[in-house]
Amino acid sequence: MKFEPKHLDYKLSPYTELTRESWIEAAKYLIEGAFRHIKSIEDPVVMPRYETEVTYPKKGDPEWRYKAEIFEGLARSFFIAAPLVHIEPDLVLNGINIRDYYRKQVLCAVTPGEKNYVLSYRDMKEADTSGNPFATYQQTVETAALVICLWLSKDEIWDTYTKEEKDRIAAFLSDFGHSNTVPQNWRLFNMLDLSFLYMNGYDIDRDIMRDHAQNILHYYVGDGWYRDGHSFDYYSCWAFNMYTSIWNNWYGYENEPYIAERFEENSNELMKTYPAFFDRDGFTNMWGRSGIYRNAATSPFDANFMLKNPAADPGLARRICSGSLLQFFTRDDFLWEGVPTLGFYGPFVPLVQSYSCAESPFWLAKALLCLHLPADHPFWTAKENGGLWDELSEGETKVTTLNGPGLCVANHERNGTTELRTGKVVKDKSDIRGMNNYSKLVFNSKFPWEATVREDVESQQYVLKYTDDGQILRANVTFWAGEKGSVLYRRQFFDYELETECHWRTAIDLADFVVPCGIIRADKIRMYRRPLRLTLGAFGFPDNGTDIITKEKDGCHAVILKGHDHTGKEKQLAFTVMDGWSGIERTESTGTNPDSEKSIVVYGVTERKKQYGYEPYFLISQVITKEFLEDFSDDEIFPIDHIDYTDPQRCGGYGPVKICLKSGEVRTIDFYGIEAGLTL
């Protein structure tokens, strides 16, 4: 059953009609689905499970993994319940008062001997036979959610505990807060545990706190983003920018003013460009790991309002948050047995990571934490506005390029979509899931990434096949070279590994630039061996009955797809191949598209046969999309008037290549010298 809000206000919210009352309804919609499976106040938050191959716990797992699932269910559903407990403390679901339920289950989770005890760090370390002195456990993650929720429901739950009960909870939190953690965003979990204890009068090791905080601060790369491992994704937003704002209030402003000031500056810096990451409808892009957290990507807006001097525009922030909520909650495939699916929309195994369990999607409730803002806060009272989307002229595309995290965002006025191009990506050459999450050439807010459809074809990715031995390679590392003359430059390596010098690795130099409904690619192959076959897929297209149209003009080939997504919305895509390609083919797939069961991927094909022959190096193509079925014009499908090459052979082996568009614009592609600026 999809979410259908009853409280609507077009005057206050002309874009989404949602109000604070609508958000309360959304929170109830989520928590009611969970409590459908909780029969008594003694039951843990363990939800029905349909996926057992990827997610945990698995048969043979140690006890702590089963306990971690109980803790995930408790802490992450508490994200939904805690604001409601404060707003409506007498709320009863499935015959259970949710305030009483969470009050009891928190105590059970931290009390040895209780059925729903989730184990302390010390318990797990003593039972750990791995020999790893730096072992970490999932429970550390959930302690941070727990303390946030105890803060949100302070009057209704935390303050009602006896001193002995508070001490018991504090001892449990102190054990995790002062113990090992993963040296990335997990440091923030320990910081919140310790700051919650400090805020409530318990002793903590301030040097441990300071060590974690200075490390988190120095993960910062600029533009409001933090590095979390090799690659960048929404963790920078729903972890770093959310938790640092809370930490500032609980501990930082008072005890570490220098670090707290930097965290505030960084959050405000993010607010300058973060709205551009969402499309005209407020949709969140499917990008990076943990896509099952969905609209949690909007949580930095709420976090910014916790700061002393927030920079976020409240009307724009609510418009984006509400739009992203509607993106997911109004779909009929969002829930399975009342619980958010392990997917982006419906169930979608290719998205799921092994560190997730059936209860993990409740993490999306970070988006609902904005309910802690009082009813008279500007976030709720300001009139919605469309931000940059209200400022774009007809047919304009606004490009935002962030060199710190290696991210480039395009907001297309003509179709309302947002396209994200990423750099600074490092994945293991066997990690196809990781490549799908991070290495797509473009991520589109209305065309979520398609999983592997065929061994030699990927959507929005090059796949290389050496035709002499049949070896198939994918690009697992992307270097960032930045923007020059409105052209974004990157380089991808195929099957990259540190053990092999890069000159013995196949690579492709990437250059792309925006047009009103999409992006034109002008990439240059850098191959150390041939013969080879290259394919490049367009976005995966949901196939719920698709019209397929082919066109050819001046030696260029195009395929146009027209149809509807799972919800019945009109979709259209045109893929054009120009210089360097031999043609377009297509493949049909099942189970690889997050929107619809069936899908189509059209892809370009080309071959190079001479080991050192001077054959065409440039591969020029275009993908454009629309959210309606009105025909693209011929000039949109075939946008190039002519191409000027420096070399007389017109292969693009050396010298600038000028692409002259029918619109009168000219884009010059010149890879010479980018070697000096490649960064990870």
Residue 669 has pLDDT above 90, yes or no: yes
Residue 340 has pLDDT above 90, yes or no: yes
Closest CA to 532 of 582, 613, 464: 464
**Tokens in use for 585?**
């083919």
Residue 502 has pLDDT above 90, yes or no: no
Predicted confidence band at 489 (pLDDT cuts at 50, 70, 90)? very high
pLDDT tens-digit series, residues 158-172: 999 999 999 999 999
Percent of the chain past pLDDT 90, that is, above it, reads 98
pLDDT for residue 231: 86
In angstroms, rounded to a whole number, what is the distance separating the alpha carbons of residues 154 and 256? 24
pLDDT for residue 58: 94
pLDDT for residue 1: 83
Residue 422 has pLDDT above 90, yes or no: yes
Exposure letters 514-545 (e unless 16+ CB within 10 A, then b): bbbbbbbbbbbbbbeebbbbbbbbbbbbbbbe
Question: What is the pLDDT averaged over residues 532-549?
Answer: 98
Q: What is the mean pLDDT of the chain?
A: 97
**Tokens in use for 452?**
């592997």
pLDDT tens-digit series, residues 52-86: 999 999 999 999 999 999 999 999 999 999 999 99
Residue 282 has pLDDT above 90, yes or no: yes
Predicted confidence band at 503 (pLDDT cuts at 50, 70, 90)? confident
Question: What is the pLDDT averaged over residues 145-169?
Answer: 98
Predicted confidence band at 188 (pLDDT cuts at 50, 70, 90)? very high
Cβ(138)–Cβ(355) below 8 Å: yes
Question: What is the amino acid identity at position 111?
Answer: T
Q: How many CB atoms lie within 10 A of CB 230?
A: 14
Q: How many CB atoms lie within 10 A of CB 133?
A: 8
Where does residue 131 rank: exposed (0-12), middle (13-18), buried (19+ CB within 10 A)?
A: exposed
pLDDT for residue 504: 85
Predicted confidence band at 527 (pLDDT cuts at 50, 70, 90)? confident
Closest CA to 290 of 335, 233, 243: 233
Give the list of residues 6+ apart from residue 564 with CB closer than 8 angstroms, or none: 542, 544, 545, 570, 571
Question: What is the pLDDT averaged over residues 138-166?
Answer: 98
pLDDT tens-digit series, residues 459-483: 999 999 999 999 999 999 999 999 9
pLDDT tens-digit series, residues 77-130: 999 999 999 999 999 999 999 999 999 999 999 999 999 999 999 999 999 999
pLDDT tens-digit series, residues 613-654: 999 999 999 999 999 999 999 999 999 999 999 999 999 999
Domains defined along the chain, listed by start: 20-390 (1.50.10), 392-674 (2.70.98)
